[in-house]
Structures are given as structure tokens and as C-alpha cells.
Copies of this chain bind each other. A is one copy, B any other.
Amino acid sequence: MNVLGVDIGGSNSVVAVADQSGSIFTHKQILTPNVLGPNLNIDMILTAACQIIQETGKSIDAIGIGCGGPLDRRTGTLHKVANLPSWDGICLTEIFEDITGAPAFLDNDATAAAMGEAAFGSGKGLANFVYLTVSTGIGGGIIINGKPYRGHGENAGEIGHTKIIPDGPPCKCGDRGCLETLASGTAIARIAKEGLADNPDSILNDALNERDGLTARSVSVAAKKRDIYANKIWSDAMYHLGLGVANVVNILNPELVVIGGGVASAGEMLFKPVTEVVNQRAMKALADDVKIAPSHHGDLIGVMGAIAVALEGMQG
């Protein structure tokens, strides 16, 4: 059995052809900037998918698609996705089924990534663990008894919207003080920009002139170079991320928390402080139980998740 995995993001998407063991024959990354709107972006993703299917010469038995929620898994349709607002109402499974003739399955990207970790990653064989993506937003996927836990309305895992500072900054969700407003890539860049005028000596001022502007990556890079202002912004974000993880640890007593997404590519700059905060703030027995680690699949965890969604879909 061969499957197509499609990982759709707010700025990048990835397609991959893999076999049923999750071994990728080939994959392709596509820039899908939100400003281009859904039609053009979907066309580019479909073109890339057809290209890699042709290249590998495999016939595709199933398609898995991971995308930010909220979405309706049963109909394969997106609702008002926070990072893809204009995609509301698009039935992604139908589009991919029409092109390839194979059945397509849609799932929340963080849940998909958790399924990818469970099937092909460090979550293999573990009963209870959590996947957290720290990227444009912050999303969570929960595995319980080796299966994705979805909750009553299939919206479990909104760890990015747990309240870390009850009267903190406003959030896209309509509330305030959510983890996502304090530790996502978007938040780190926003907070850094807010205080930049008062910190003229910070090397972050130079980042404004770079092609991508001042991003979370600029902050982690400058913090690593011991820029005092960048270090303060980064440390605060890691402190808040650690508090969010500590709360999840106290509630779920997981064996593993895998952290992925663009911000996690900072590596030890993220994992060291976050682990320290969890050790300090979660209950001792629960902190002792948990390992906090990056995904073995790095940037490909999203598409590995989509591949797991396709394989689970075929199992019924």
C-alpha cells in the first residue's frame, strides 16, 4: 500500500509519497503564503502532489491531509481555521479524491502529528503522550492508550488556548492570556517588536531590515549571541511555554511530551529551559515521569502525521 501525505500550513505545505511503514519515497515542500488565498495555494499543492506521484511511479491507495482546525473530519471540510481564514467551507478530501481517485482523510494537524509520532516516531509503543506544535500558533495532539484522543466534540488538545496569565495579551480566539499569545512564533516576534524602540542597542533592530523581518527565529538567534533584550524576550516565552507544559503534565501525567513546529527548531534553546520549568513547577512525581523531547522527524513530522492519517483511515 502506498499513500500520499499532505501537510497544509499557513506559510509552507509539504507533500510526500510513502509506503505503509511510513518510509518516504519522495517529498516536496511548497511555499503557500496565506495572502495568495485558497484556490492558488491548493492548485500549487495539487501540482506538487501530482509531480511526486509521477516521479515515484507509485499508485496511491489513500491520501491523508493534516491541516489546522477547526475542521470536520467526517466530511473532510475546513471551518474557520485561525491561520487560513479564507479557506472556510472548503472540502479538501473531495478535491484530492477527484484528482487521484483514492480515498482521502482529513485530520487536525496537531492530532495528525501525534499520530505520526505514535506510528513512526518516539511515541511508538507508548500508551500516553502529548504532541505540541509551537509555530504560527500552538496546537496539541493527545494520545491515550495508543490512540488519538479527540474529546466529546473532536476538539480536544487546545493547549495553545489554556490561560497562562489570566489578564494577559488578547488572543485571536477572542480571549486573553492564552499560551499562544505568549510563546508561539507569532507571539515571540510581536513581543520583541513591541519593546524594540526602547532597546536601540539590541541586534534585533537589524533583523527588521532582513527579508523575513523580525521573526521568532531572529529572537532565538540573537539570544544565542547573548543579546540582552533578545534573551529576555526568549526566556520569558520559554518560561510561559514551560508553565503550559507543566499544566498538561499535571493533568495528564504523560510519559512523553514531543514539541515540534518552527519554534522548536531552536533545539536546546527551547528544550533546556522548558524542561527546567516543568521540573520546577509540575508535581515532582509527574515531572519525574515525563520526558520532553523534539520530534525525530524534525520538519517532516507534519507530513508523517498526514501519512499516519491516511493509514489509519484505510484501517477503518
On chain B, the residues within 8 Å of A127 by CB distance are: 152
Instruction: Establish whether residues B154 and A253, one from each chain, have CB atoms under 8 Å apart when the complex forms.
Output: yes
Instruction: Establish whether residues B153 and A253, one from each chain, have CB atoms under 8 Å apart when the complex forms.
Output: yes
Instruction: Establish whether residues B253 and A166, one from each chain, have CB atoms under 8 Å apart when the complex forms.
Output: no
Q: How far is the CA of A250 from the CA of B69 in the complex (A)?
A: 14
Number of copies of this protein chain within its complex:
2
> Knowing A144-B144, A144-B149, A149-B144 touch, does A155 contact B283 (C-beta < 8 A)?
yes
Instruction: Establish whether residues A253 and B151, one from each chain, have CB atoms under 8 Å apart when the complex forms.
Output: yes
On chain B, the residues within 8 Å of A159 by CB distance are: 250-251
Q: A155 is contacted by which of B154, B248, B253 (Cβ under 8 Å)?
A: B253
Q: Is A281 an interface residue (CB 8 A)?
A: yes
A interface majority secondary structure? loop
Distance in angstroms from A73 CB to nearest chain B CB is 13
Residue of B nearest to A288 (CB): B153
On chain B, the residues within 8 Å of A165 by CB distance are: 166
Instruction: Establish whether residues B162 and A251, one from each chain, have CB atoms under 8 Å apart when the complex forms.
Output: yes
On chain B, the residues within 8 Å of A251 by CB distance are: 140, 142, 156-159, 162, 248, 251-252
Residue of B nearest to A150 (CB): B253
Q: How far is the CA of A154 from the CA of B250 in the complex (A)?
A: 11
Q: Is A70 an interface residue (CB 8 A)?
A: yes
Q: Is A286 an interface residue (CB 8 A)?
A: yes
Q: How far is the CA of A254 from the CA of B157 in the complex (A)?
A: 11
Instruction: Establish whether residues A174 and B284, one from each chain, have CB atoms under 8 Å apart when the complex forms.
Output: yes
On chain B, the residues within 8 Å of A153 by CB distance are: 253, 285-286, 288-289
Instruction: Establish whether residues B152 and A255, one from each chain, have CB atoms under 8 Å apart when the complex forms.
Output: yes
